[in-house]
Amino acid sequence: MTSNKIVGSTLIVSGTALGGGMLALPLASAGLGFYPAALLIFVNWALMTYTALLMLEIHQHAEQDATLNSLAKNLLGKPGQYLATFASFFLFYALCAAYIAGGGSQLTNKINDFMSLELTPQFGAILLTIIVATVVSIGTHSVDLVNRVLFSVKIIVLALTLSLLFPHVEAINLLEMPVQQGLLLSALPVIFTSFGFHGSIPSIVRYVGVDIKTLKKVMICGASAPLVIYLLWQAATQGVLSQTDLLANNSLTSFITSLSSVLQQPQVSQSVSVFADLALATSFLGVSLGLFDLLSGMMKRANSTLNSNESSSTMSTDSNSHRMKTALVTFLPPLAFALFYPQGFITALGYAAIALVILAIFLPVAMVTKQRKAQASGYRVVGGNVTLVLASLMGCLIIASQFLQMADVIPAVG
């Protein structure tokens, strides 16, 4: 296994997790204080790393090109397959639509400012979709290369932003505690989704191969980078702004404005804006790659069933056509919603944590439980049935939190 693929795969995991959700963390945890927020971040990192390793345990007994859909079908039957398909499509399409809508608007603004034009946000949405669709359609290798460049620049910009913030951190701000009961529970869904990279795991297994030792390094290192960055980001933002100032902000724009005004440094606004663009781009690449590979696997199986007598040369000729069709099915639906009904998907993002709990917790736990009964040998994640139960309970708690916020039983965050 080349170190090149290992590094690239690790960055795909980190880049997918380090998306726009990171920018929402200070707002979602504003009423918690730094240390309670840091505890929740650590717990969610441990949970998501554990379930990522469960996915590797499942993949070791499957084909290299297996998708979550095919894994669920083999281990849980048709009901598991339908649940995996619904949750995957709901989460992937919702995230892609949000990234296209948000990223398209940002891209349009930057083009207009640079070239003194008056283009509409729809132009930026279409242009961004074409660019990302082209990269993803070429293959995981192209996503790897582009993601490396974007991720490297993103880390440089983040380092610059943190260097501007940390000299102004005040210890008293970091010692503040939750201002309201129930906030620890309320912040769970947002923090949980900030570690959502599991949709890209099948693509990484296909890219790297079923090498469990290598894949474990990829998952652990890939998930640990966001953990460190999130903790630094929380310390910087919650240390600079008081809890009162943080709670007064209800949007990313007002949050950035508050940072700039407190520090009296316009560079903060510029660096956070650039970081937001890069975070969105890397996350969009990882999410759309997972959706593309899921659809590609489903369409290939459908085509092979219908055209089982085709020659290999004909199938080879149709490869480019297949990737083009897969790209259209992958990107056209979220582009259409982002152009004509962005509010619907922005609202749906509030439910994204529920779909992610199904994909990243409930399905891996159910599949591992079934597989362990049939396979006595091979790699097993430590913890046995106790950790499987604990992970399932955490998933139930996250879903309960989302519904309790909707019902106004506990305070909403963000």
Residue by residue, DSSP assigns 293-304 as HHHHHHHHHHHH
pTM: 0.81
Instruction: Enumerate residues 6+ apart whose C-beta is below 8 A from 201.
Output: 52, 55, 56, 59, 68, 219
d(CA 91, CA 375): 31
d(CA 61, CA 297): 18
User: What's the pLDDT at 251?
Assistant: 61
If you search the block for the tokens 């726009």, which residue do you land on? Answer: 20
Q: Which tokens in the block code for residue 205?
A: 């297994």
- Residue count of the chain, please give it: 414
Instruction: Enumerate residues 6+ apart whose C-beta is below 8 A from 223.
Output: 13, 14, 17, 45, 48, 49, 52, 195, 197
Instruction: Enumerate residues 6+ apart whose C-beta is below 8 A from 55.
Output: 198, 201, 364
The answer to whether the beta carbons of residues 173 and 267 sit under 8 Å apart is: no
User: What's the pLDDT at 344?
Assistant: 54
Residue 252 burial class via C-beta count within 10 angstroms: exposed 0-12, middle 13-18, buried 19 and up: middle
Please count the CA atoms within 13 angstroms of the CA of 203 that sit on its side-chain side. 30
Q: How far apart, in Å, are the Cα atoms of 223 and each of 127, 200, 303? A: 30, 12, 36
Q: Which of 95, 65, 58 is CA-nearest to residue 80?
A: 58
Instruction: Enumerate residues 6+ apart whose C-beta is below 8 A from 406.
Output: 350
The answer to whether the beta carbons of residues 29 and 234 sit under 8 Å apart is: yes
User: What's the pLDDT at 390?
Assistant: 96
Q: Which of 310, 291, 271 is CA-nearest to residue 158?
A: 271
The answer to whether the beta carbons of residues 37 and 238 sit under 8 Å apart is: yes
Sign of CA dihedral 134, 137, 139, 140: positive
User: What's the pLDDT at 250?
Assistant: 64
User: What's the pLDDT at 315?
Assistant: 46
The answer to whether the beta carbons of residues 349 and 338 sit under 8 Å apart is: no
d(CA 215, CA 247): 40
CATH of 3-305+317-406, one of 1.20.1740.10, 3.30.300.30, 2.120.10.90, 1.10.3720.10: 1.20.1740.10
User: What's the pLDDT at 129?
Assistant: 92
Where b means 16+ CB within 10 Å and e means fewer, 327-348 reads: beebbebbbebbbeebeebbeb
Where b means 16+ CB within 10 Å and e means fewer, 363-400 reads: bbbbbbebbeeeeeeeebbeeeeebbeebbebbeebbe
No. of helices (H) and no. of strands (E), the chain: 20, 0
Structure letter (DSSP) for residue 359: I
How far does Cα 41 stand from its chain's mean position?
Answer: 15
Sign of CA dihedral 391, 395, 397, 401: positive
Each residue's pLDDT expressed in tens, for the chain with a length of 414 residues: 567 788 888 988 888 887 766 777 887 888 888 899 899 999 999 999 999 999 999 999 888 888 888 899 999 999 999 999 888 888 888 888 878 887 787 788 788 888 888 888 788 889 999 999 999 988 878 888 888 888 888 889 888 888 888 888 888 888 887 767 677 888 888 889 888 888 889 889 988 888 889 999 999 999 999 999 999 989 988 888 888 888 877 666 677 777 777 777 777 777 877 887 888 888 888 888 888 887 887 777 666 555 555 554 454 446 778 888 898 999 999 999 888 876 555 555 667 788 899 999 999 999 999 999 888 788 899 999 999 999 999 999 999 998 888 888 887 775
Q: Which of 64, 78, 76 is CA-nearest to residue 1?
A: 64
Euclidean distance between the first and the last CA atom of the chain, given in angstroms as a whole number: 43
Residue 181 burial class via C-beta count within 10 angstroms: exposed 0-12, middle 13-18, buried 19 and up: exposed
Instruction: Enumerate residues 6+ apart whose C-beta is below 8 A from 280.
Output: 19, 20, 99, 102, 103, 106
User: What's the pLDDT at 3?
Assistant: 77
